[in-house]
Amino acid sequence: MKKRKPFQFKNFTIHQENVALPVTTDACIFGSFVSKEISKNHSINTIVDLGTGTGVLMFFLNQTLPKANILGIERDNLSFETACYNLKVNHSDRMNVINEDFFHWGYSFNQKFDLVISNPPFFENQLESIDPHKRQARHFSEKGFKLFFDLIANLVSQKGSAWVMLPFIPFPNSQNLDSEKESNIHYWKQFPLNESLILHQSVFVSANIQKKPHLIFTEWAPKIQSMDSPEEKVQTSSTVSQQIIVYQNNREYTKECFDLLNPFYNFDIFGG
């Protein structure tokens, strides 16, 4: 496995020497965006990160909500050991990591969480990597996403939410990009069983202004079982869409992306 240098952020260091997948810019933007969204929510006391890898998302959230208790679930042994090491060297007393498959763990776990976050395996129907560690980190088995969203619905508290980073699915027959975005929203909405989760936000992420999105940051919340008025139902079911452009034409970060990453990145090291 390729040896990688640690990532030195402003307030923590992420070691990644032995993990299947290293820290990525996309994951950091995801962690930054979610951190901004939850920064004023003082009711978030418990967080779980499904498929925690190095633990990088946990550290983003810990910097934003230092009083919250954060649990990471990671089944790959090397990634689990790396995440534990990162917790140790960064002296993180409100975070913990469990070495288990999150499907096996989640359905036997009774606690509900105020926030569920995940960067899950993307490539459900694509050719799998021959590397077993990368295959485990990157791929769901058949029907994996339906099981995944069912798991989230089982873990998130009634007043909580879940943030999931998902791939943008190409729909070549769509008439334009707006139509393709709408097709993606409908595509991902099909996975929560019996509409157990409602899609509240979809954030489309593009590398630059010329390129189509390659990711969607999605926010989900439990379906409200009893509603007092039709107006509440309409509001609960609507989806707010946003867009993030990562780079300018000169490969520097856009101002929006720079502002998201600035609380975490040491730009003297990474460059801006």
Residue 239 — very low, low, confident or very high, per pLDDT cuts 50/70/90? confident
For residues 150 and 192, the answer to whether their CB atoms sit within 8 Å is yes
Q: Which CATH number is 7-174+253-270's, of 3.40.50.150, 3.40.462.40, 3.90.1010.20, 1.20.1070.10?
A: 3.40.50.150
Beta bridge partners of 126: none
Contacts of 54 (CB under 8 A, 6+ apart): 14, 15, 16, 19, 22, 23, 79, 82, 83, 86
Confidence band of 159 (pLDDT split at 50, 70, 90): very high
Supply angle C-alpha 117, 216, 129, rounded to 5.
80
Calculated CA dihedral for residues 242, 246, 252, 253, nearest 10 degrees:
60
Tracing tokens 């190409």 back to the chain, one arrives at 170
Mean pLDDT of all residues in 194-222: 95
pLDDT in tens, 99-155: 999 999 988 888 899 999 999 875 433 433 333 333 343 445 547 888 999 999 999
Closest among 165, 154, 164 to 222, alpha carbons compared: 154
**Extents of the domains making up the chain:** 7-174+253-270
pTM recorded for the entire structure: 0.87
The predicted-structure confidence for 28-79, as pLDDT tens digits, reads as follows: 999 999 999 999 888 999 999 999 999 999 999 999 999 999 999 999 999 9
